[in-house]
């Protein structure tokens, strides 16, 4: 994708970067901040290409510089990424050494550090040193999913750029273009902010079964049926084998509960459109307090899942509490 | 690209350039050796982005044909793998053929290796400079310059500029200076041709690598200096390094000119004494050795509250000037003594808390050490 194709995803950011580039007013350090999947790293790489592309002021993705940056083979563009969820000390050391050397090929130096919150405080402090004393023709781009985890000293030395969450509609469109059913696309778009991740979920062969199961269980809760656990046993999905499946299950369940809550507040713009009539009919059966309690239970289960709780116990416990 | 080459010569060249390869590089393409084939010969390039080594193999050496070129071209072949394959080859000749952009055949005797390669177009465009005003130096001399200064480079990364050696050209003299801010080594090299003044800092690691490479290669070396690259040109071989960015501290005023006390020692004897006295030093700590200079003798001592104390008496070969008592890091003196060549060394002091220098009759090299305050 060329930088201009990001215009409909992050219009403000792209326009701002292009303007600064054209006026030669690019800052020496940027901090790209926004939710997961908002294309922060992709745009950081696009910015590097913009600086190097043989077609001035564009990103062609065809010239040797664009290709090399894409393959991380450009000697003056260094991308540092978290390896196993942390940015290691050696990586920071290497970065520091690179920072103090002259370039191999003529041109500006570009450093991209993805997910800077994965860095230890010590490492972040040493990064600080070179953001603080910018060398001419050097650009540092940091990205983060969570601005609150970043040292204030780092934030104050960067130009912070806010990435807007991606509109659900564009994810839905993207999924439909890739052959996903409209109804499922609608649900999947609420599970993630990332195009590729959404497609991956939509293409998971279990997702339809998971959605069916959620609908059955939720209807049972609204109906005041007593046999939720039986439903679970008759279903085609085994929630107790794969952590990923359980995770999707909890997320989808949460969306359904939110739909019920919206209906309770007379807001009928819901995600499970096929169930609109059912929800309208039975929403009186559940009290607001019980609904909030149920949502809290699901959130609690999500946290326990992160901590590798026993899946069988976790799901049984949750369902008993939901009734 | 297609050619046949005498394996023995090819291996030697690959071994030379492979010194530049590194496993740790973040750029996948730098795991490859770049081969550029023309009718005149082969250019091999390998790099870890800090240092780059380029070797040329001519088609003919002394009228003997080394390379049989069938089709000119370039490719990037995984360096370590190529080296292994060639080493195991059991034939006088090997043949390399590029099948398509990212596939290379290596043939010898009855074996065919097909290696996956990367696109050679992605290889960094490394500009090997050759200015028309190089400094010409004998390889032995260059090796000496590096060995005698590199001991003083800083090992900690807290001041990156000090991990390099300062190459300063001024009025046809090359000054090579290294310091970690506790000691300093300065080597002076005079040359004849006209060269524009320049002041750059070369990473110490690169120079150590160069020193290993030139040990076995006698002859003349041309040093090309520029503001972002330094390169050393030998017979068919170019070694190039990136530089450290920044200004090197001004050191010319640090070396004292007048001295209150000069002691002369036999270098080997003094090394033995300092080494012996350092026995009581603690691993990892800085060990302060003391010199007490009297009229007729000098007492060298080291005291460690945990381990004990050692005192040794020495009679300097010569002594000139006022008496003094001084303490400093034993390791610094030992390092300085070991890299000097002459049998006789002179230690020249200016005061108890002033830096002192270690010299031999070779005027080009100066080792400076900072003392510590004692009592």
Domains annotated on chain B, with CATH: 2-122 (3.10.150.10), 135-252 (3.10.150.10), 255-369 (3.70.10.10)
Note whether A135 contacts B245, CB cutoff 8 Å: yes
Q: Could you tell me if B102 lies within 8 Å of chain A, comparing CB atoms?
A: no
Does A1 score more than 60 pLDDT? Answer: no
What is the reported pLDDT for A162? 92
What is the reported pLDDT for B243? 93
* pTM, 2 dp: 0.80
Does A103 score more than 70 pLDDT? Answer: yes
Q: Tokens 């899946």 appear where? A: A311
Note whether A73 contacts B122, CB cutoff 8 Å: yes
What is the reported pLDDT for A21? 92
Nearest to B228 among A72, A73, A102 (CB): A102
Radius of gyration of chain A measured on its C-alpha atoms: 24
Which of B122, B123, B153, B240 is the mutation pick for testing A, counting most A CBs within 10 A? B122
Domain ranges of chain A: 3-165, 204-322
**A:B CB pairs within 8 Å:** 65
Q: Give backbone dihedrals phi and psi of A103, rounded to 5 degrees, phi first.
A: -80, 155
Q: By CA distance, what is A101's nearest residue in B?
A: B244
DSSP-assigned letters across all residues of A161-208: EEEPPPPHHHHHHHHHHTT--HHHHHHHTTT-S-HHHHHHHHH-TTHH
pLDDT band at A236 (very low <50, low <70, confident <90, very high): confident
pLDDT single digits (tens) B61-115: 988 999 999 999 999 999 999 999 999 988 999 999 998 888 999 998 889 999 9
What is the reported pLDDT for B71? 93
What is the reported pLDDT for B130? 65
Note whether A105 contacts B227, CB cutoff 8 Å: no
In chain B the first and final C-alpha atoms are separated, in Å, by 73
What is the reported pLDDT for A45? 93
Does B156 score more than 70 pLDDT? Answer: yes
Four-residue CA torsion sign, A238, A239, A240, A244: positive
Q: Could you tell me if B125 lies within 8 Å of chain A, comparing CB atoms?
A: yes
Which of B25, B45, B49 is the mutation pick for testing A, counting most A CBs within 10 A? B49
Note whether B121 contacts A93, CB cutoff 8 Å: no
Helix H or strand E encompassing B206: helix B204-214
Q: Tokens 């010194």 appear where? A: B19
What is the reported pLDDT for A52? 92
What is the reported pLDDT for B224? 92
Least confident of A84-98, A217-231, B235-249: A217-231
Q: Work out the widest C-alpha separation in chain B, in whole angstroms.
A: 81
What is the reported pLDDT for A160? 94
Note whether B244 contacts A100, CB cutoff 8 Å: yes
Note whether A103 contacts B242, CB cutoff 8 Å: yes
Instruction: Report the CATH number of the A3-165 domain.
Output: 3.40.50.300
Note whether A104 contacts B160, CB cutoff 8 Å: no
Of B268, B146, B117, residue with least CA distance to B207:
B146
CA distances to B145, B155, B160, B186, B226 from B163, in Å: 16, 6, 5, 15, 19
Q: By CA distance, what is A64's nearest residue in B?
A: B122
What is the reported pLDDT for B18? 93
Set of chain A residues whose Cβ sits within 8 Å of the Cβ of B246? 100
Tell which B residues from 8 to 47 touch A, by Cβ distance under 8 Å: 24, 26-29, 47
**B78 with B115: CB under 8 angstroms?**
yes
What is the reported pLDDT for B68? 94
Q: Give backbone dihedrals phi and psi of B47, rounded to 5 degrees, phi first.
A: -155, 150
Set of chain B residues whose Cβ sits within 8 Å of the Cβ of A93? 157
Q: Could you tell me if B247 lies within 8 Å of chain A, comparing CB atoms?
A: no
The more confidently predicted of residues A313 and A283 is A313
Note whether A102 contacts B243, CB cutoff 8 Å: yes
Note whether A104 contacts B124, CB cutoff 8 Å: yes
ipTM above 0.85, yes or no: no
């Amino acid at each position: 994708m060329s930088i201009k194709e990001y215009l409909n995803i992050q219009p403000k950011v792209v326009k701002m970067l292009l303007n600064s580039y054209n006026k030669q007013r690019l800052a020496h350090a940027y901090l790209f901040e926004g939710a997961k999947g908002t294309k922060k790293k992709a745009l950081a790489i696009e910015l590097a290409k913009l600086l190097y592309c043989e077609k001035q002021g564009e990103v062609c993705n065809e010239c040797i510089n664009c290709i090399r940056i894409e393959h991380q083979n450009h000697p003056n563009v260094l991308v540092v990424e978290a390896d196993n969820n942390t940015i290691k000390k050696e990586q920071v050391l290497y970065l520091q050494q690179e920072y103090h050397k002259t370039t191999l090929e003529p041109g500006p130096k570009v450093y991209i550090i993805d997910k800077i919150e994965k860095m230890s405080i010590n490492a972040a402090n040493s990064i600080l040193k070179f953001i603080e004393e910018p060398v001419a023709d050097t650009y540092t781009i940091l990205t983060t999913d969570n601005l609150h985890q970043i040292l204030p000293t780092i934030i104050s030395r960067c130009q912070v750029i806010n990435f807007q969450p991606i509109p659900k509609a564009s994810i839905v469109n993207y999924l439909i273009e890739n052959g996903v059913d409209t109804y499922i696309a609608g649900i999947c778009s609420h599970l993630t902010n990332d195009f590729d991740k959404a497609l991956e979920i939509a293409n998971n062969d279990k997702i339809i079964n998971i959605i069916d199961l959620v609908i059955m269980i939720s209807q049972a809760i609204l109906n005041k049926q007593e046999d939720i656990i039986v439903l679970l046993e008759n279903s085609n999905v085994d929630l107790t084998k794969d952590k990923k499946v359980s995770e999707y299950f909890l997320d989808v369940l949460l969306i359904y509960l939110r739909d019920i809550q919206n209906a309770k507040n007379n807001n009928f713009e819901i995600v499970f459109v096929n169930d609109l009539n059912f929800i309208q009919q039975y929403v009186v059966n559940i009290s607001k307090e019980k609904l909030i309690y149920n949502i809290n239970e699901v959130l609690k289960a999500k946290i326990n899942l992160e901590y590798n709780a026993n899946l069988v116990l976790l799901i049984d416990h949750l369902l008993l509490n939901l009734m | 690209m297609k050619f046949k080459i005498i394996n023995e010569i090819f291996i030697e060249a690959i071994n030379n350039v492979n010194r530049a390869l590194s496993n740790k590089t973040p750029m996948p393409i730098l795991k490859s050796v770049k081969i550029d084939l023309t009718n005149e010969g082969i250019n091999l390039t390998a790099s870890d982005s800090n240092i780059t080594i380029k070797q040329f193999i001519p088609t003919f050496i002394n009228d003997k044909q080394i390379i049989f070129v069938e089709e000119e071209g370039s490719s990037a072949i995984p360096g370590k793998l190529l080296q292994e394959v060639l080493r195991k080859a059991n034939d006088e000749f090997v043949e390399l053929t590029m099948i398509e952009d990212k596939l290379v055949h290596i043939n010898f005797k009855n074996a065919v290796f097909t290696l996956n390669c990367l696109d050679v177009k992605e290889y960094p465009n490394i500009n090997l400079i050759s200015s028309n005003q190089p400094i010409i130096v004998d390889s032995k001399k260059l090796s000496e310059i590096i060995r005698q200064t590199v001991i003083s480079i800083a090992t900690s990364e807290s001041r990156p500029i000090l991990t390099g050696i300062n190459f300063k050209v001024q009025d046809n003299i090359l000054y090579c200076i290294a310091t970690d801010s506790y000691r300093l080594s300065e080597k002076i090299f005079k040359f004849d041709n006209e060269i524009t003044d320049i002041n750059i800092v070369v990473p110490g690691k690169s120079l150590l690598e160069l020193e290993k490479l030139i040990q076995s290669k006698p002859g003349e070396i041309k040093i090309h200096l520029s503001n972002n690259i330094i390169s050393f040109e030998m017979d068919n071989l170019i070694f190039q390094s990136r530089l450290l960015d920044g200004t090197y501290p001004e050191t010319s005023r640090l070396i004292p000119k007048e001295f209150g006390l000069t002691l002369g020692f036999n270098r080997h004897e003094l090394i033995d004494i300092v080494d012996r006295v350092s026995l009581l030093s603690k691993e990892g700590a800085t060990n302060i050795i003391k010199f007490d200079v009297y009229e007729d003798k000098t007492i060298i001592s080291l005291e460690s509250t945990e381990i004990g104390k050692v005192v040794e008496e020495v009679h300097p070969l010569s002594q000139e000037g006022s008496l003094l008592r001084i303490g400093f890091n034993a390791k610094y003196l030992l390092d300085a003594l070991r890299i000097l060549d002459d049998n006789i060394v002179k230690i020249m002091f200016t005061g108890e808390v002033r830096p002192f220098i270690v010299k031999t009759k070779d005027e080009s090299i100066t080792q400076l050490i900072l003392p510590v305050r004692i009592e």
